[in-house]
């Protein structure tokens, strides 16, 4: 199956500091990819490149097999398909109230008002924030702002949603609710996170950023102790437990239920 | 546009420093008084100063010139009063000179006079004047912002005309030339800044 | 995240001259600035410009491309500002209608550009080797009242926080096709952006106030700053270079 | 053993919104307390009250058995003993470079310059950020700024260190390193967090904030499913696994090794 969105051997950096060198990531339609890596490893840089915000100095980003060219017309087209939600919702929210903010993207797509309204309602509904519609954005709690920021991207109905640390700072129930919401979107999602347990339980593909490169594979990549170490991650407890118990890791135990089954009770 | 380092003759640099000094010292005293009143004011004033600087990184859409940005001195004068703006404006101009190479040290006096004194005072004056009439507040905001912006550039033109009188037509001719280059082109930007002020005013009534 | 707006300061933090005494760098830079102002374009300004470029690219090890970027704004002003000086309304010379240009005007304008470029380069000797905040700290020695310097240094800290938010917000708007919006909507978006950054500035200031109170902030924001050793060779070479420029001017005159 | 620092039946709120009602927390010298609760539950409010930054409308905060009075002299004295590090390092860092910033607290204690320098060096060393001493604050990464903010508090040699979400946003190795650092400080630490696994493995006491109240106890409090639910937390996997396996939970299995032992391998 061919890639919907991909970064092909990209090199990216600021001034003379190279963040990613020869890094590739392939995103197939409908996949759920967890992008893992340490603070400062280049996860955000890679997402920015995929979204078109940063231009690789070497290599290309492709959408639907087409090389992305960084001129205004092509970038605009790219942004209709690929939306990035930043880690800090305050970097994204700027309007006086929630509805206005969420309507910003749809109106920029050139939709007429009625369609834009429908999109806003749909997005607020998908993110379960309809009750916040008329609230001033700066009065919302952190978790609420995170959801509204995602709604702003979802309202553009992108084919790929890139999320930078969407669960950071949320309490456990907030994380669970957000993950359930994302599962219900039906969009291709790439989610950058530090949370290896979350990655294991949610993702169907894993990509690990370390030393300027990206390794992509099935979640069983998280069994590779050397990779885990070099990426400053830790092994998900499910895998560590099963490994240390000397039990088979295939199929990969991803939830507590899988682990219980594997232990045989 | 600030007058660049080295552009004004030495005597005039000194004269503009002397002209600005009383306003800046007066402003500094006002700031010290506010800081004594409550330590919190220091942070609020610093935030205002930082914000004024950050404005120069915000480009205005669809107006002539690629590097046009709002000056914000009219709004600052309404919010904090012209004396405080004289001081904050001086800090911001010093920052711009050293961080962005906009303006200079020897021309600091002249730039402070146009941008941190004349502009804010003019904007503030118009604001007070319009508030006395029955006109709605947004009219006052519009004119305060637009006038502060425009006066700044008119004063800059005067400063340059004094420094470089026209060989044939003297000061008047020179003023015409500099106004044409700096102030006339600024009119749409001044209007734009006024409009921005009104939109901003609208934003704050909604939050 | 760093932005184009703070490249000079970023360079200053990384400069090998960062650890020199601020007073010494101010002495060198300001005497060069004054020399550029007070000596004739040739040879004074040319020498100051050459000397400054040498200092910035040589001992202070600043990238040439950075210096070039930095000079775009002042050079633009100098050209636009010198144009009205070059032309005359009426009088002799070559031109259309009353707008005339002659050799005198052109010479004055070129001289102004020379003063401006030399002066700006001389100022950049300080700016590219000394973080803004070091200059503020140095002003303490000149008896500038503490509250004013506190505000200036807090301004410095806050501007980076606000600048990164502002740039991120603008970038996020473009990501949601903000650049494709109608003229009217772009102005509305700009006003909302400025408004929310103002609200956030306020919030930042209030939070920082609380954070600092917890650390014992009452009236003054006193901190330790390292004592830098005085370098007589640096002062000597600085003064000798400036004196050299003056001597050359005097000889050639 | 008596409390070093305590909040005794405090009620706290903003305007007419009550955040905590009749909430108590007792902190004994040398203890490591994890303060758990949902976003917006009042963890930060409670820490602020303990630090003296907020004055309870009802109830008192006591240090060393003495009621804290909120006048300048008493607060100053209180801050010598109790330091709060906020979640967002940018709310605490104000200086252009790291050394300057860390020296602020010691100088406010009235120490002479030589002693203050020694304190700065010590704190930078304890937090392993000596290499950042001359770096500008605004160029530091998020994790680095978090450490520097903690160094600023540690340099005041407080007897109690209150940390609000110190591990939020750090990668797994960053979390492990920070926890090791905290263990080495030898100070009484109260740490607010969402991370129940971390709380279980690190804390010797747990306090759960929910519905405006605080329940304090041993980490076995995390076995209380009703409490966990009302606090929007989840049960730590170690406890859930052992419980569902029908194995005894006493002594509490806190690490993966404990779990392995309990399973009997």
Task: Note whether A108 contacts C176, CB cutoff 8 Å.
Answer: yes
Per-residue pLDDT tens over the stretch D196-253: 999 999 999 999 999 999 999 999 999 999 999 999 999 999 999 999 999 999 899 9
Nearest residue, CB atoms, C205 vs list B13, B44, B56? B44
Task: Note whether C216 contacts D120, CB cutoff 8 Å.
Answer: no
C193 contact A CB<8A: yes
- Residue in D with minimal Cα distance to C212: D92
What is the model's pLDDT at position D264?
A: 81
Tell me how far apart the alpha carbons of residues C224 and B75 are, in angstroms, rounded to a whole number: 36
Given a contact cutoff of 8 angstroms between Cβ atoms, the answer to whether C238 and C27 are in contact is yes
For chain B, the first-to-last Cα distance in angstroms comes to 33
Q: In which domain, by residue range, is C152 found?
A: 145-214
C99 and C208 both lie in a single domain? no
Alpha-carbon torsion, ordered D93, C168, A138, D214, to 10 deg: -50
What is the model's pLDDT at position C246?
A: 94
C167 and C246 both lie in a single domain? no
pLDDT at C2 over 50: no
C90 and C175 both lie in a single domain? no
D96 contact C CB<8A: yes
Measured between beta carbons, the chain C residues lying within 8 angstroms of B4 are 74, 77-78, 81, 116, 119-120
Measured between beta carbons, the chain B residues lying within 8 angstroms of C166 are 54, 57-58
Task: Note whether C224 contacts D120, CB cutoff 8 Å.
Answer: yes
Average pLDDT in the D10-36 region?
93
What is the model's pLDDT at position B59?
A: 77
What is the number of CB-based contacts under 8 A between chain B and chain C? Answer: 242
Average pLDDT in the C155-181 region?
90
A135 contact B CB<8A: no
Instruction: Report the domain count for chain C.
Output: 2
Confidence band, pLDDT 50/70/90 cuts, at residue A49: very high
H or E, element range at C161:
helix C146-175
Task: Note whether B50 contacts C159, CB cutoff 8 Å.
Answer: yes
Domain boundaries, chain D: 3-92+159-233, 235-265
Nearest residue, CB atoms, C214 vs list D51, D90, D120? D51
Domain boundaries, chain B: 10-202
Measured between beta carbons, the chain C residues lying within 8 angstroms of D53 are 210, 213-214
Per-residue pLDDT tens over the stretch A188-234: 999 999 999 999 999 999 999 999 999 999 999 999 999 999 999 99
Per-residue pLDDT tens over the stretch A64-118: 999 999 999 999 999 999 999 999 999 999 999 999 999 999 999 999 999 999 9
Average pLDDT in the A31-59 region?
94
Task: Note whether B206 contacts A97, CB cutoff 8 Å.
Answer: yes
pLDDT at C88 over 90: no
- Residue in C with minimal Cα distance to A52: C175
Confidence band, pLDDT 50/70/90 cuts, at residue C1: very low
Fold (topology level) of A3-234: Rossmann fold (3.40.50)
C127 and C235 both lie in a single domain? yes
Per-residue pLDDT tens over the stretch D60-101: 999 999 999 999 999 999 999 999 999 999 999 999 999 999
Tell me how far apart the alpha carbons of residues B142 and B119 are, in angstroms, rounded to a whole number: 14
Confidence band, pLDDT 50/70/90 cuts, at residue D1: low
C234 contact D CB<8A: no
C86 and C201 both lie in a single domain? no
Confidence band, pLDDT 50/70/90 cuts, at residue A40: confident
State the smallest CA–CA distance between residue A226 and chain C in angstroms.
30
Given a contact cutoff of 8 angstroms between Cβ atoms, the answer to whether C49 and C42 are in contact is no
Helices C146-175 and B10-37, axial angle in degrees (round to 10): 90
pLDDT at C98 over 80: no
C66, part of any domain: yes
Average pLDDT in the D10-37 region?
93
C86, part of any domain: yes
Measured between beta carbons, the chain A residues lying within 8 angstroms of B203 are 96
Residues of B with a Cβ under 8 Å from any A Cβ are: 203, 206-207
User: Which two tokens mark C197?
Assistant: 């950054």
C150 and C130 both lie in a single domain? no
What is the model's pLDDT at position C93?
A: 75
C30 contact B CB<8A: yes
Residues of chain B with pLDDT under 70: 62-67
Nearest residue, CB atoms, A256 vs list D38, D169, D240? D240
Query: Which residues, 6 or more positions from B117, have their beta carbon under 8 angstroms from its beta carbon?
Result: B20, B23, B24, B82, B86, B89
Fold (topology level) of D3-92+159-233: Rossmann fold (3.40.50)
Subunits with 3+ Cβ pairs within 8 Å of D are A, C
Measured between beta carbons, the chain D residues lying within 8 angstroms of A194 are 169-172
What is the model's pLDDT at position B66?
A: 47
Tell me how far apart the alpha carbons of residues A24 and A213 are, in angstroms, rounded to a whole number: 8
Average pLDDT in the C208-227 region?
88
- Residue in B with minimal Cα distance to A97: B207
Per-residue pLDDT tens over the stretch B34-68: 999 988 899 999 999 999 988 877 877 755 444 57
Tell me how far apart the alpha carbons of residues D86 and B43 are, in angstroms, rounded to a whole number: 18
What is the model's pLDDT at position B56?
A: 77
Nearest residue, CB atoms, C205 vs list B47, B105, B168? B47
Architecture of domain B10-202: Orthogonal Bundle (1.10)
What is the model's pLDDT at position A265?
A: 61
For chain A, positions 7-46, list CB contacts with chain C under 8 A: 14-15
C149 and C133 both lie in a single domain? no
């Amino acid at each position: 199956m061919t890639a919907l969105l991909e970064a092909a051997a990209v090199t990216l950096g600021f001034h003379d500091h190279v963040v990613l060198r020869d890094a590739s990531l392939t995103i197939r339609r409908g996949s759920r990819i967890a992008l893992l890596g340490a603070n400062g490893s280049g996860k955000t840089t890679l997402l920015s490149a995929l979204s078109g915000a940063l231009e690789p100095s070497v290599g290309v980003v492709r959408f639907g097999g087409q090389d992305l060219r960084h001129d205004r017309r092509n970038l605009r087209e790219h942004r209709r398909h690929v939306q990035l939600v930043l880690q800090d919702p305050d970097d994204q929210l700027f309007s006086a109230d929630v509805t206005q903010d969420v309507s910003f993207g749809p109106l920029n797509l050139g939709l007429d008002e009625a369609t834009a309204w429908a999109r806003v309602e749909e997005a607020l509904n998908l993110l379960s924030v309809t009750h916040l519609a008329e609230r001033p954005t700066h009065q919302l709690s952190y978790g609420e702002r995170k959801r509204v920021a995602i709604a702003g991207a979802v309202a553009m109905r992108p084919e790929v949603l890139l999320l930078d640390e969407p669960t950071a700072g949320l309490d456990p129930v907030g994380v669970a609710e957000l993950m359930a919401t994302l599962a219900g979107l039906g969009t291709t999602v790439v989610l950058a996170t530090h949370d290896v347990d979350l990655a294991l339980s949610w993702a169907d593909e894993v990509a690990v950023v370390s030393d300027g490169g990206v390794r992509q594979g099935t979640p069983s990549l998280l069994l590779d102790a050397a990779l885990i170490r070099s990426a400053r991650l830790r092994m998900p407890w499910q895998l560590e437990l099963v490994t240390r118990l000397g039990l088979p890791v295939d199929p990969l135990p991803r939830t507590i239920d899988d682990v219980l089954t594997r232990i045989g009770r | 546009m600030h007058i660049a380092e080295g552009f004004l003759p030495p005597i005039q640099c000194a004269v503009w420093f002397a002209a600005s000094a009383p306003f800046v010292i007066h402003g500094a005293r006002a700031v010290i008084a506010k800081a004594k009143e409550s330590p919190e004011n220091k942070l609020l004033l610093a935030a205002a100063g930082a914000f004024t600087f950050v404005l120069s990184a915000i480009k205005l859409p669809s107006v002539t010139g690629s590097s046009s940005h709002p000056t914000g001195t009219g709004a600052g004068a309404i919010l904090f009063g012209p004396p405080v703006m004289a001081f904050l404006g001086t800090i911001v101009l010093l920052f711009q000179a050293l961080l962005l190479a906009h303006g200079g040290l020897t021309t600091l006096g002249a730039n402070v006079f146009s941008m941190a004194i004349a502009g804010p005072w003019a904007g503030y004056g118009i604001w007070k004047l319009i508030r006395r009439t029955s006109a709605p507040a947004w009219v006052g905001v519009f004119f305060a912002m637009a006038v502060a912006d425009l006066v700044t550039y008119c004063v800059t033109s005067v400063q340059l005309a004094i420094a470089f009188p026209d060989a044939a037509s003297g000061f008047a001719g020179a003023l015409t030339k500099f106004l044409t280059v700096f102030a006339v082109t600024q009119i749409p930007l001044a209007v734009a800044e006024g409009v921005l002020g009104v939109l901003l005013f609208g934003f704050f009534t909604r939050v | 995240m760093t932005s184009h707006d703070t490249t000079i300061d970023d360079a200053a933090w990384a400069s090998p001259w960062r650890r020199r005494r601020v007073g010494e760098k101010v002495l060198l830079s300001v005497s060069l600035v004054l020399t550029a102002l007070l000596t004739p374009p040739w040879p004074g300004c040319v020498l100051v410009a050459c000397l400054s470029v040498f200092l910035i690219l040589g001992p202070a090890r600043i990238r040439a491309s950075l210096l070039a970027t930095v000079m775009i704004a002042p050079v633009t002003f100098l050209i636009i500002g010198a144009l009205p000086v070059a032309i005359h309304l009426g009088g002799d010379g070559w031109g259309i209608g009353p707008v005339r240009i002659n050799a005198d005007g052109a010479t004055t304008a070129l001289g102004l550009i020379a003063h401006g470029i030399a002066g700006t380069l001389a100022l950049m000797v300080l700016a590219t080797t000394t973080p803004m905040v070091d200059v503020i700290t140095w002003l303490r020695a000149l008896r500038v009242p503490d509250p004013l310097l506190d505000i200036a240094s807090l301004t410095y800290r806050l501007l980076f926080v606000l600048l990164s938010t502002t740039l991120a917000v603008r970038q996020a708007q473009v990501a949601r096709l903000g650049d494709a919006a109608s003229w009217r909507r772009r102005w509305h978006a700009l006003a909302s952006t400025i408004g929310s950054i103002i609200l956030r500035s306020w919030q930042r200031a209030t939070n920082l106030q609380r954070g600092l109170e917890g650390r014992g902030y009452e009236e003054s924001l006193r901190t330790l700053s390292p004592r830098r050793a005085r370098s007589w060779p640096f002062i000597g070479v600085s003064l000798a270079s400036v004196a050299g420029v003056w001597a050359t001017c005097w000889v050639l005159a």
